[in-house]
Each structure stands twice: as structure tokens, then as C-alpha cells.
Structure 1
């Protein structure tokens, strides 16, 4: 009897081991990770902000959260004339650093098409990871160690999903805002192309947002819907952004181009204009079909489409949309890759990778990557600044 029991548990243990050896690689291939070592500083709200809102046509209210859980929280609140340049400080609790930004709440939608000979560095899906984002830009000579723009007249493309799934959404957005201003002074350009998670935050889907921001909204006397509403400075800024751009013959879009986009008689600027008009409305199928639903659908929309990696597309289905927009390649985020890589005879570049998290560790661990385009050549760039031709 004893021998039978021992034999049973040996077989059980062996079976479990075999299953683990099979399931762990499958899980890793699907992007699964084990999180551990959570840092409690993620919920340090002392100095959280600024949260800026339009009080009326002439004044802006700027709010910071002060205090802590033990002694209680309070608001530091101040009003400014709308035409003033508002000096602001953004604090990052993890390493007790900060940076300054000047809030200028007048926004115009950027161009959709750019043609020059300057370099392009693209990164996507940072998901509220300020430290990861900051350190990647430092190592790749986009900014210096004091967080100032050093990329000259070149292009920095931020390919969507810089919000949600993390604790530093506010820091990340204000950092992009700051870099936009500095790049412009030097003749460079920051292209913040919205992903589906930026859109979700604008139309009120917060399932992927950290619970932290539910409490932040409450503390500043708002709801989560207010944080990126048209009445907030960050919301108004986000609502001015594009979802697709052509830069030096390359299409940059978070999700991708569905093959049927060739049937739409719309240019890239027209696509951006139409989708901007829908930013604060969740997509849903309508009784009376409109061909433009293709652009905003959560399956086929340019910020949502995963067909390059999930569907069995022909080379022609890849190339026809590129021909329509006179482009040589499309660069996308949204769908996770092991590393930045090219597909479909170098017509598609996938740049969404697993980035390190600011406030906890993961196993297996990954490093950030991006895509560099220089002299019509494509390179994978890593978190330590190394470059490898694709």
C-alpha cells in the first residue's frame, strides 16, 4: 500500500513537471509574466499633479494633492488667467525626482503628413511607465540626464497606449507635453499618436486604469471621467492629437490598416479629422451601416486592428493600403512582440514590446525597445542604446 502511494505521487509530480515545462513557454510566448516586489511608493500621492481644468473662458484652476494616508490629504489649488504661461512641477515618487513644465492651454491639431530627411525614433505601449520611458530616451540620446530635449530636428514618435496599467499616467503625459514644447524650439517634433487606451480614457472606459486614479479624482473633487474631459487641459490636449500619420514615407498608427481601408475615399488628414470627432464616444455597431465605421470599430479601427499578427493576410492585402497612402511601410504598436521586428517583406514593423514596470518586478524580465529609421534604413534600438539593423 505504502509503495503504491509513493508511486502515485511520483507519477503525479512527474506529470505536473511535464505540464509546467509545456505551459510556461506557452505563457511566456503569450506575454504572461509573474509580478512580484511591489513598491508601496506607487501610492505616494504627496505632490501628485498638476490637474488643470478650465474654470471658465478666462481662468484655469490648477490642483495638486498634498499630504499622506497617515496625516490626511489636502489640496493645493490656485487659479490662473487662461492666457498666462503656468509654471508647474511634476513629481515622481519612485526616485524622488521632478521636472518642470510650462502649461500653455492653446492647442492646434498637428499635421498628418511630414517629409524631410531627419531621423525617426519610435516607441509604443509605455503604459504609464515614467521611469522606463525616461531612461529609454536618455540612453538613446533623445534627452539628457536633466530631461531636456537633445534630439535636434529629428522625430520622436510615441505610438499610443502611454496610459493605463501603471501608476505614473500623469507624469508620463506631462513629460510628453514638456518634450513637445522643447522639440518645437529646436525644430524637432514629438508625434503623440493615440492608441486605443488613450481613446478609452477619453470616452470613459477605465477598466485598465490603476485604481489610484479613482481616488485621485475623488481627492480633487472630480470624477475619473473629468480627468481627460474636454474641460481638462490634458483632455483638450489629447483631443487635438492624431491617430495616424505619414512621416518620411512611413505610416505610423497604433493598431494597423485594415485591407478594406482602400475602399474609403479618404486621405490621412480626413481620417484624422473624422476620428477626432468621435474621441468622446465609445464605438458601437449601428443599425444603418456607415463605411467609416471601419475606422473606429474595436476590431477593424486604426487604433484597434490586430490583423497583421492575427489574420492570414496576403502580401497584396498588406501593400494595397500602403500604395493608397504612398508609403513604403507601416509601423504599429498594440500587438505584443518578443522584440521589435519586421514582417511581410519589411512592409510591417511591430514595435510593441514588454517594458519593465516602474513599481514592481516581473519574471521573466524584459527590456524596452524601439525603432530607429535613418537614411531609409530600419534599426532595432534597445534600452541600453544599442542599435541593430533589421
Structure 2
């Protein structure tokens, strides 16, 4: 049961907001568990093998895996989480330091923050660098990615509309060369944001025009077939790496029966604008619509304190069936902020890693999940050092 994993620990109040002036601790080279190596015997690792388009099944022999939850447009907190994970340099150069590590981000990069495209640009840059070193970066799409492609902008921060306007102009400056503009945006975005702050005024009519311009830019970028929607289409909604399943909300037996690779393909197909309309058989309802869809499901991540014993047993049975169908040992999800920090439930068959780190959510201290040789543990920053909270052996 979950109590055997984390409930017996006395955890610090990780959900309390960080002070704005607090900076992320830099990775200590003396912390051996976080130093990626080729293998325990010093030999070269076998190559990473990816199946599916978008990636669905990944074999990453011997790799250290680190998972980062929802970041919601907060670039500073995202960088802090990546530094804690040991995959991002702390010198501001945005260099991959993870070697052969596999990084996965669990979705909800969009909404509630100002620097969404910058985070996506950073992750893509890190993926290119990681591949050159034998590692990899993966993302899965969350409900806020699918909402934005649907045109649902209810949770968009005003600064994010401005970022869309600036990025669309930057893309035009690059003669719509997507790769150049997208990869270059992480370096350009800070300057553009500072320029916006300097030119801000409070004249109501002009702000309204700016907002309309931002809405139009976002619609162009994120509509099905738009350039940013096509970028998101590169990512899955469900990803299995070795013996671990990663998705934003939660996977159920009916999803597996429908076909994980089929769902990933249909969501990607829709984001690329290749479905005729919302009534098309190819519209990915089972993955993106409804409380029990892959990106919206909270069955596993909800607080267990309000559940009766029979409900807990039923949920655990559903989870075990899902994992058995996939040949997996555990599932990692985001979506629901965990006020006690990253934790596991149901005999540690489910790991919940959304800690609400974005300033637009809880502004909590970033935490990441590390998996090495099927052993999972939580890593969080403590000002000037790193603290290991839990290790669970699945073998």
C-alpha cells in the first residue's frame, strides 16, 4: 500500500511557494547517483530504439530516466527542475549535461504562464544535444496542449498571448523556416520579453488591440495544422519506456484495448490538421475528451484520503489490469498537483509527479522523479543541496 512507500516519511512543506529571490541549487559533482555513466561496468550502452510515430514504445537499455511534471509556462521553474534532474547546465547556456540520460516531460507546458514556447524550444534543443550523447528527451501532450489546439484559450496568460505575437513576428523574420526560428527562440525570447516590459503602457484601447493580436497569433500557431500544433504533434499522449508507462492523466484498460499506438497516431493526425472536422472518426475522443480520457483522467492521482476501502481496491485492480495489458511495472502521471510533493500510490504502481511548480499554479519547489534500474526515487532541491526522499525497488 501507499503507506509503505511515502506516508511514513516526514516530508517538509514542499508545496509552500518559493521566494522569488530563491535560485535553484547547482548540481553537485559529488552526488554519485546523479552522475550519468555509460554503464555500471564502464562499457557502452546499447542504442535507444524507438517504435511508433509519434514515439510510443522505447527501449533504452541501462539508461537513467528522469521525469518532470507540469511546468505551465514558467521557464525559471522548468530550468530549475531540469537542473535538479542533472540534465541542464546551471550557467545559463542551456547545455545538456545528462549524458545518456533519458528525460521525459509529462505535458501541460502550455497555459497559466508567460514563456510556453520558450520552454518547448528549450526541450527541443536539449533533445538534439542529448541524442548526440546517447541520451534522449521525450514529451507527452497533456490536456492543456489538446485544449489549445481545439482553440480553448481560457487558461492562457496575457504574457503568453504576447509571446505568441512576438514569436510569429520572429518566425516571419526567419522567412517561416520553422526549425531555425523554433530552436533560436529560447535565446531570443528573453530579449523580446524585456522589450515588451519596457514598452508597456496602460492605455486601455491599445491593450485591447494587443490582446486581439495575441489571440490571432495564437490561433494561427496552434490551430490544427498550425506550425506550433504540428510541433506538438511530434509527441505522444502515451509513452512506454522500458517497463514504465508515462502519460499526463492516466491510462485505463479500455485505452489499451483501443490501441496505444493508434491513439497516439490519431492525436498527432488531428493536430497536424489532417482530420476533416470534430465529427471525423479520426478525431481522438478517447484520448482527449471526457473525464476518463488519457489526458483528463484523475483516477490514480486523486487524494486517497477521501476514498473508501472498496474504492481503493477497485482502483488498484483497474491499475493492475492496465499495467498487465501493457507488460509494465508502473505508471507515471502528472495533471493533478500533489500538495505533498511527488509520491507513489497503490503499492507504488503509480507515481504522481505534478507538484504545481509553476508560479501560475502553486509556485511549489520543483521536484523530479529519477528511475535507475527500475528503482525510483524523488529528488528535490533544498537551497544549496539535493535530498533523496525515497527509493523503491521493483525488481
Give the TM-score band, short-chain normalised.
0.5 to 0.7
CA distance in 1, matches of 2:150, 2:109: 16
Which of the residues 197, 200, 208 maps onto 2:144? 197
Uncovered stretches (5+) of structure 2, i.e. residues with no partner: 1-12, 22-51, 170-212
CA distance in 1, matches of 2:295, 2:142: 5
Task: Return closer, same or farther for 1:273/1:333 CA change in 2, 3 Å cut-off.
Answer: same
How far the C-alpha of 1:366 sits from its partner, in A, is: 2.6
Provide the secondary structure at the position in 2 that maps to 1:307: coil
**Structure 2 equivalent of residue 21 of structure 1:** none
Q: Indicate whether 1:244 and 2:238 are aligned.
A: yes
Q: Indicate whether 1:377 and 2:375 are aligned.
A: yes
Q: Indicate whether 1:303 and 2:289 are aligned.
A: no
Are the counterparts in 1 of residues 127 and 136 from structure 2 also a CA contact under 8 Å? yes
How far the C-alpha of 1:386 sits from its partner, in A, is: 2.5
How far the C-alpha of 1:382 sits from its partner, in A, is: 0.6
The CA deviation string for residues 277-327 of structure 1, in whole angstroms up to 9 with x for no partner, is 333789x997x9999743332311111111114483332211111111110
Q: How do 1:62-73 residues align onto structure 2 when only pairs under 5 Å count?
A: none
Are the counterparts in 2 of residues 229 and 236 from structure 1 also a CA contact under 8 Å? no
Uncovered stretches (5+) of structure 1, i.e. residues with no partner: 1-28, 39-107
CA distance in 1, matches of 2:358, 2:287: 31
Which of the residues 266, 270, 273 maps onto 1:274? 266
Are the counterparts in 2 of residues 161 and 195 from structure 1 also a CA contact under 8 Å? yes
Which of the residues 131, 140, 150 maps onto 2:97? 150
Q: How do 1:2-17 residues align onto structure 2 when only pairs under 5 Å count?
A: none
Q: How do 1:40-119 residues align onto structure 2 when only pairs under 5 Å count?
A: 109-115=53-59, 116-119=61-64
Task: Return closer, same or farther for 1:388/1:203 CA change in 2, 3 Å cut-off.
Answer: same
Which of the residues 118, 127, 132 maps onto 1:185? 132
**Structure 1 equivalent of residue 155 of structure 2:** 208
RMSD (CA atoms):
3.4
Structure that is richer in strand per residue: 1
How far the C-alpha of 1:117 sits from its partner, in A, is: 1.6
**Structure 2 equivalent of residue 334 of structure 1:** 335
**Structure 1 equivalent of residue 185 of structure 2:** none
Rg comparison, structure with higher value: 1
Q: Indicate whether 1:317 and 2:318 are aligned.
A: yes
Number of residue pairs matched? 283
Deviates most, 269-278 or 371-380: 269-278
CA distance in 1, matches of 2:354, 2:295: 13
**Structure 1 equivalent of residue 75 of structure 2:** 130
How far the C-alpha of 1:147 sits from its partner, in A, is: 1.9
Which of the residues 67, 74, 85 maps onto 1:140? 85
Are the counterparts in 2 of residues 161 and 198 from structure 1 also a CA contact under 8 Å? yes
Provide the secondary structure at the position in 2 that maps to 1:383: strand
Provide the secondary structure at the position in 1 that maps to 2:357: coil
Deviates most, 255-264 or 212-221: 212-221
Larger RCO, structure (CA 8 Å, separation 6 or more): 2
Task: Return closer, same or farther for 1:344/1:224 CA change in 2, 3 Å cut-off.
Answer: same
CA distance in 2, matches of 1:290, 1:181: 31
Deviates most, 312-321 or 247-256: 312-321
**Structure 1 equivalent of residue 184 of structure 2:** none
**Structure 2 equivalent of residue 350 of structure 1:** 352
How far the C-alpha of 1:387 sits from its partner, in A, is: 2.2
CA distance in 2, matches of 1:369, 1:37: 17
**Structure 1 equivalent of residue 42 of structure 2:** none
CA distance in 1, matches of 2:330, 2:79: 27
Are the counterparts in 2 of residues 377 and 389 from structure 1 also a CA contact under 8 Å? no
Are the counterparts in 2 of residues 230 and 236 from structure 1 also a CA contact under 8 Å? yes
Q: Indicate whether 1:388 and 2:389 are aligned.
A: yes
Task: Return closer, same or farther for 1:129/1:337 CA change in 2, 3 Å cut-off.
Answer: same
Are the counterparts in 1 of residues 70 and 107 from structure 2 also a CA contact under 8 Å? yes
CA distance in 2, matches of 1:315, 1:37: 40
**Structure 2 equivalent of residue 94 of structure 1:** none
Task: Return closer, same or farther for 1:171/1:296 CA change in 2, 3 Å cut-off.
Answer: closer
